[in-house]
Amino acid sequence: MRHNFRMTSPRHSALDLLSVVGEHDLALATPKLADSEASRVSGQFRPRITLQTLDRGHGLLGLKPQGKLGPRGDSVTLAQFDWTYQTEAADRWQTPAPTSILNSRPPATQLLFDSGGTEVQMQRDLAAEADAMDLVWELGFVPLEASTFQWRSDKHSPALGSVWTLPQEAFFGEFWADQIPRLQAKGWAVVVQPGFAHESVTVQRWKLVVSHDTGEVLSKELDSLQVKPARGAGKLELPKREGAWLLSLGIEIDGQTLDLAPMLADLLRRDARWLNAAQIAAIDDLAIVSLRAPGGKRIDAPAAPLKAIVGSMLDLLTDPLRNPHQASLRLGAWEARRLDALRASLLETHRVGPHNTWQLEGDLGLASLAKRLKVLSAPQPVVAPEGLQVQLRPYQLEGLAWLQYLRAQSLGGILADDMGLGKTAQALAHVLTEKNAGRLDLPVLVVLPTSLIFNWQAEAKRMAPDLRLLTLQGPQREALFEQMQTHDLVLTTYPLLWRDTEALAAQHFHLVILDEAQMVKNAGSLSARALRRLQTRHSVCLTGTPMENHLGELWAQFDWLMPGFLGDARHFAAQWRKPIEENGETLRAALLAQRVRPFVLRRRKQDVASEL
């Protein structure tokens, strides 16, 4: 016998809101006969979950704070649980799951009637219903009262019934990925309404755009690394503190481009593997990584391009001062090499695996600038200057070539050879080369510890007697200030630097050299502050120990050499010192080393032992 049952009791209002597909074909009946007189109908129990995300488009402003519920934005995902029974005659009966623990068991049979008034008894599987209810609570769902919802106006406020949510909106991403397959394996029906924010989608296209800090894309490049230099790209000038490049990373899904940076920042916060270089390397390139888009949408992305981006841009993605709503990452001109390496790495991930399509836009002379920065690690050979009265060893000639290249590109650097390897000789050869080339129209100032001033005097006279030498020392030194312009090399000491600040700050210098530069590791010291008032075209640090105790000492030297290169002291501490020194973030340590490497030349005695 087939029963064409129809609902006669009012339809549950929550179902109106969620637009659940299907009708309530069987309904509760007002008893007319004793249960024993009604026809018996058996059905197959199947629990059902219906999911939908409501937002401002539905008139929902959010949820009021309530118990276990965490803060929500203007989108809320709801779940409705129903117990459904499918009969052999293809009829169905359903009822919302209870939102509280029942004080008494529901009846084992449910009295129903059809459109003709014939009463039937539906046999319920109370044990299965109880198991399903236990699972709902186990999953962490919280029932919602109608008063919890905040609507734009009364006309947007439906009469909500039995609806649930998770304590935090972000939990739905993992619930979809981990628990929905589990529910389906247990026989649950899953209904997903249009607009559900947490159903995973896959990346269809990746996008990288490089532009000047004005936001203008000056050239375009697709799937190639051809160089198209921008005007004025022949020399690496020190950029503004706020950076010279803007890097935008995006992914395309269904024709819509989404900003990748906040998704990566979220990934770094919730998965510590991405802060450790060794653990990142261990992630399979073909592994699928779950990203969370704003609003909670889950995006599945292959690991390879994410590894390339995080490995290059961790510091920018986790910058505590970065506006989380800003789509672009800012980089300095000196980071052209890093940008160009990232682009090459992303293209390589496309060649070795099915990672969809990369669209690379904006050349801006990056490859050309990157090439010139790369030369810092192996500049063109030079010869010792005429008039140098000492023979330079091969590694010292390499040091001279490096100093010359820094000068040519208007960059600063740290010559950090071990003690005894002749940093003074290399510096004097550099100054003499400048004089012979006619570039020394202004004096060179050397700032050094008091204990080294006689050594520098002796070495300068012995190695480069053609250099006109002036030593600012003793109580009579004030009479010598006006002679600085007529000399090639001016020597002073750290204690005198801050005492003579006014006179030294009034003089323009071609080059300032700090010997034993770790002496200015305290950026707040009088000497360090006096240094920042000096006017010079070029600057170099000499030290056998660029860092003795902590990373802040390295920052202090670069803050004078290349202001803004490593940010201000507070920013550097938050972005580099604390994560590396206290948290042991190896990837960040590697990134910092990579960032400063072009501007630090360090040779140990064992490295050049064969030349000594």
Of 22-26, 104-108, 220-224, the range with the lowest mean pLDDT is 220-224
pTM: 0.57
Least confident of 64-78, 206-220, 252-266, 367-381: 206-220
Going 299 to 301 to 303 to 307, the CA torsion angle's sign is negative
- Provide the residue type at 343 as one letter: R
The pLDDT of residue 488 is 94
Q: What is the reported pLDDT for 25?
A: 40
Q: Tell whether the model's pLDDT for residue 438 goes beyond 60.
A: yes
Mean pLDDT of the 388-405 span: 92
Specify the higher pLDDT residue, 265 or 461: 461
> 37-69: buried (b, 16+ CB within 10 Å) or exposed (e) per residue?
ebeebebebbbbbbbbbbbeebbbbbbeeeeeb
Is the pLDDT at 266 greater than 80? The verdict is yes
Q: What percent of the chain has pLDDT over 70?
A: 70
DSSP state of 37: G
Residue 85 has pLDDT above 60, yes or no: yes
Residue 445 to residues 261, 409, 472, Cα–Cα distance (Å): 45, 20, 10
pLDDT tens digits along 136-185: 999 999 888 776 776 766 665 555 557 888 888 878 878 887 888 889 88
pLDDT above 50: residue 81: yes
Look at residue 386 in the predicted model and tell me its pLDDT. Answer: 93
pLDDT at residue number 472: 93
Asked if the model's pLDDT at residue 423 lies above 80, the reply is: yes
Give the β-pairing of 60-63 and 142-144.
unpaired
Which of 87-91, 153-157, 606-610 has maximum average pLDDT? 606-610
Give all domains of the chain, ordered by start, each with its CATH number: 13-192 (no CATH), 201-373 (no CATH), 379-611 (3.40.50.10810)
Q: What is the pLDDT of residue 395?
A: 92
CA atoms of 63 and 331, how far apart (whole Å): 40
pLDDT band of residue 57 (cuts 50, 70, 90) is low
Q: How confident is the model at residue 44 (pLDDT cuts 50, 70, 90)?
A: confident
Nearest-5° Cα angle at 180, 66 to 260: 80
pLDDT of residue 247: 73
Instruction: Classify burial at 18, counting beta carbons within 10 Å of its beta carbon; exposed 0-12, middle 13-18, buried 19 or more.
Output: buried
First CA to last CA distance, the chain: 104
The residue among 436, 430, 473 whose CA lies nearest residue 454 is: 473
* pLDDT bracket for residue 108 (50, 70, 90): low
- With a CB cutoff of 8 Å and minimum separation 6, the contacts of 555 are 523, 566, 569, 572, 576, 577
Q: Answer for the pair 193, 291: CB distance below 8 angstroms, yes or no.
A: no
CA 318 to chain centre: 5
Mean pLDDT lowest among 175-179, 363-367, 416-420 = 363-367
Classify 12 as helix, strand or coil: coil
Q: What angle do CA 386, 390, 395 make, to 5 degrees?
A: 95
More confident position, 190 or 66? 190
Of 154-158, 539-543, 557-561, 569-573, the range with the highest mean pLDDT is 539-543
Q: Give the pLDDT mean for 184-203.
A: 84
Q: Which of 587, 612, 416, 412 is nearest to 512 (CA)?
A: 412
Residues in a beta bridge with 80: 50
Residues 375, 381, 385, 390: is their CA dihedral positive or negative? positive
Distance of CA 210 to the CA centre of its chain: 16
